[in-house]
Each structure stands twice: as structure tokens, then as C-alpha cells.
């Protein structure tokens, strides 16, 4: 039976104007972070010197509410998991005074310990200093002071069903289970979605005090029940700001779309070519068209090699919300390109036509100024890329 949201919502935002200025790419890698800046035409790109060289940077994100504050989710050799903050667009950085951390438990008991901070999301535009962070193992944290101090969202982290939802610390991705895809309804700061690998998609309508699974219709072939209430492995979940009741996800078991009023995921990846499949990590939405979506397929067969199918990388686009898909590989390697794109490492700018960008596990950044019609390599020889965010300068 569909769940009826009983929270007041504001009108959906109007379509934003196209951007016209230079673009910057915020790059998180296995060995540090970089900023890549373009000229106004997006033809020439310049790579910065590394930031946090040698540290794992899982996510580097700009606060769109002020255009200058950057947060970096870092795992450092001597400090462990933490968050760094810059209020001058990366010129200077300070570590968070209180990074995300689960509460200590009494001596002799085993509690949760943050291995790394994985995902960062700026809060609702009505809450200018709020940020959310997702961790490994699956934890949700909130900052009310711009990322300087973090507190546990107890409604999830201490929920009596948390362990059943997540399957425990042994379940998850090869480098640990993760909380990711923290989404905020642009109409209502209290309405949140999260994705967990593993665990599934969950929803809160009271700013994280209570949570409900939102996985109906989504396949989980690795579970005894292939359509369980929870225990799924969404790789990346996106909400379109112009149509906030529509969600897309790239899942361990396919590509899905949900119309929130129906409360059921529909597998739109069945329309992908069978020889390519619909398995991947990242999914990107067109900033002005909720019908247009891009994915980057990878080989998810047998031992899950996590490379481009057949060593032939390609992006696929749908312009009709998943009814049909078109291959976009012009300019990409035609063979022997054995890499993939991680869940946070594909992004779009706000220009017209839209610029698309992805970072690879081989340390390359590829871009297209024509919405995927033609690709070129912008950057080579950086470390394995974990995240990529396009921002307008």
C-alpha cells in the first residue's frame, strides 16, 4: 500500500538558468585531492597541485549556499577518519574539532567505530550551516556549524533495527559497508533519503528521528528472498531537484526509477543492451530535465571484475526516463581500457549543452561539452579517482 507523506511541502523550484562561466572539478582520490579548472569555453583545463597528498579523500564538496566553503571527507594515516574544512575555496584548511564518531560504549562491550567518512551533503538552503555525512560502517551524522563539529543522528545510528537493516559489518562493499546518497527534499528540510551498501534505501520525514525502508520492487539476487524489505545494495541514489518525487538509483542488481506516490522501484535497466547489462556504480541527472539520465556500465558478471564490459568503456543516456538508452562512446578507447567509474566519480555541470565528466579507477578524467556526444581526456596520471564534483566558478 503506498505510503502517504504527511509533511507540508513547498512548490517545486523553477528551472534554473544555464551556466555560462568557467567550471571546476573537485577531485577526491586514493592519494589526495585536486581541483581542475576550465576556461569559459570548457576547452582548456588546468590541474592544481595536490591537496592532502597521500591521504584518502573519499569526497570533496562545495557548499552551494555560499560558493566558497569546501568540505573534504578524509582518511589519514595518523589521524584516521576525519573531515577537513576550508572557508576560502581551498587556500587554507582546518580539521573538524569534533569529526563524525559513534558514541563510546562501556568497557567490555563492542561498539561501532567509524573507519572512514564516505559521503558529504550540504543541508537544505533554509539551514545554511547544516551538513550531513555518511560513514563506513553505515552511520549518519549531522553538523549545525558548517562542518566543524558533528553529532550522531540517533534516530538511525541507535535504531533498534539498525543491525538487521545493514546486515552487520561483514556485509557491504570490498572496502567496507557504506552510508551514501544522503538526499534532502528541496521543498522540505525534514524530508530525507539515504542509501546504504548494504541495507537499501530508507526515508525519514522528521529530519532523521524515524526511518522506513523504501525498497519495494527492487531486486536483491544475493538474498534468500530476492525482493526483501531491506538488505539491498544501492550503489548511488539521486533525486531530481525539479521533480523531487522522482528518484533514480544505480543498484547492485540494475538501474531503477521510482515515482514517490507509487512507492515502488521500476527496473528501467531492463531496456539496456543485454550484452552490456545495467550494472554500474554512478548515475547522473540532467540539471534541467528530469527525463534525462546518464550511467556508466561495468562488468558485474561472475566474479564482478568491476571494469568496462569487454574493455570498451561507454556512457549510456536515456532521454525518456529509462524507456530507451543510447550508447555514447565517441572519443573513448575502443578496446583494452580495463577501468571503471566509482559511485561518486561522475558528474554534470549546468551549462547548455550540459558538460559531463567522469573520473576512472586508472586516474583519468574524461569530459564532454556535448552531453556525451563527444569525449576527450582532460587529465591523466592522477591516483585512482574516488569522487568528482562539477561546480560553476
* Burial class (CB within 10 angstroms; exposed 0-12, middle 13-18, buried 19+) of 17: exposed
Among 265, 267, 315, smallest CA distance to 293 is for 315
Query: pLDDT at residue 175 above 90?
Result: no
Q: What is the pLDDT of residue 4?
A: 42
Query: pLDDT at residue 3 above 60?
Result: no
Report residue 156: phi and psi, to 5°.
Answer: -100, -50
With residue 348 as reference, give the H or E element that holds it. strand 346-348
β pairing state of 212-213 and 200-204:
antiparallel
Query: pLDDT at residue 334 above 60?
Result: yes
**Is the pTM for the entire model greater than 0.85?**
yes
Locate cell 523550484: which residue?
13
Domains contained in the chain, CATH given: 111-383 (2.130.10.10)
Count other Cβ atoms within 10 Å, centred on residue 281: 24
Rounded CA gap, 163 and 314, in Å? 37
Query: pLDDT at residue 12 above 60?
Result: no
pLDDT band at residue 17, thresholds of 50, 70 and 90? Answer: confident
pLDDT band at residue 189, thresholds of 50, 70 and 90? Answer: very high
> What is the per-residue pLDDT across 26-75, written as a single tens digit (0 to 9) for each?
999 999 999 999 999 999 999 999 999 999 999 999 999 999 999 999 99
Amino acid at each position: 500500500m503506498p505510503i502517504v507523506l504527511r509533511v507540508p511541502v513547498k512548490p517545486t523550484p523553477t528551472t534554473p538558468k544555464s551556466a555560462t562561466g568557467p567550471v571546476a572539478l573537485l577531485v577526491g582520490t586514493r592519494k589526495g585531492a585536486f581541483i581542475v579548472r576550465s576556461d569559459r569555453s570548457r576547452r582548456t583545463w588546468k590541474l592544481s597541485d595536490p591537496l592532502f597528498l597521500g591521504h584518502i579523500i573519499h569526497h570533496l564538496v562545495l557548499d552551494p549556499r555560499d560558493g566558497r566553503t569546501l568540505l573534504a571527507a578524509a582518511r589519514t594515516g595518523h589521524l584516521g577518519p576525519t573531515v577537513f574544512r576550508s572557508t576560502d575555496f581551498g587556500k587554507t584548511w582546518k580539521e573538524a574539532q569534533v569529526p563524525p564518531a559513534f558514541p563510546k560504549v562501556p568497557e567490555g562491550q563492542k561498539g561501532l567505530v567509524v573507519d572512514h567518512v564516505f559521503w558529504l551533503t550540504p543541508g537544505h538552503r533554509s539551514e545554511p550551516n547544516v551538513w550531513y555525512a555518511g560513514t563506513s560502517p553505515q552511520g549518519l551524522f549531522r553538523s549545525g556549524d558548517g562542518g566543524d563539529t558533528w553529532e550522531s543522528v540517533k534516530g538511525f545510528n541507535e535504531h533498534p533495527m539498525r543491525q538487521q537493516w545493514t546486515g552487520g559489518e561483514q556485509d557491504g562493499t570490498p572496502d567496507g559497508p557504506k552510508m551514501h546518497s544522503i538526499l534532502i527534499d528541496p521543498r522540505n528540510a525534514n524530508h530525507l533519503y539515504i542509501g546504504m551498501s548494504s541495507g537499501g534505501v530508507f526515508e525519514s520525514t522528521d529530519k532523521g528521528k524515524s526511518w522506513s525502508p523504501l525498497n519495494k520492487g527492487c531486486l536483491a539476487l544475493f538474498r534468500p528472498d530476492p525482493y526483501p524489505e531491506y538488505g539491498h545494495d544501492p550503489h548511488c541514489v539521486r533525486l531530481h531537484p525539479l521533480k523531487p518525487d522522482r528518484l533514480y538509483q544505480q543498484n547492485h542488481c540494475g538501474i531503477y526509477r521510482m515515482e514517490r506516490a507509487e512507492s515502488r522501484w521500476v527496473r528501467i535497466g531492463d531496456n539496456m543492451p543485454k550484452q552490456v547489462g545495467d550494472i554500474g556504480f554512478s548515475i547522473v541527472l540532467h540539471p534541467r530535465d528530469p527525463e534525462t539520465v546518464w550511467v556508466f556500465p561495468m562488468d558485474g558478471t561472475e566474479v564482478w571484475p568491476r571494469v568496462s564490459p569487454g574493455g570498451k568503456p561507454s556512457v549510456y543516456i536515456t532521454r525518456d526516463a529509462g524507456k530507451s538508452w543510447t550508447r555514447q562512446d565517441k572519443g573513448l578507447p575502443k578496446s583494452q581500457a580495463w577501468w571503471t567509474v566509482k559511485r561518486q566519480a561522475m558528474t554534470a555541470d549546468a551549462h547548455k549543452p550540459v558538460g559531463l565528466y567522469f573520473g576512472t579507477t586508472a586516474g583519468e578524467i574524461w569530459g564532454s561539452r556535448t552531453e556525451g556526444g563527444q569525449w576527450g581526456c582532460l587529465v591523466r596520471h592522477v591516483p585512482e579517482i574516488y569522487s568528482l564534483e562539477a561546480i560553476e566558478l
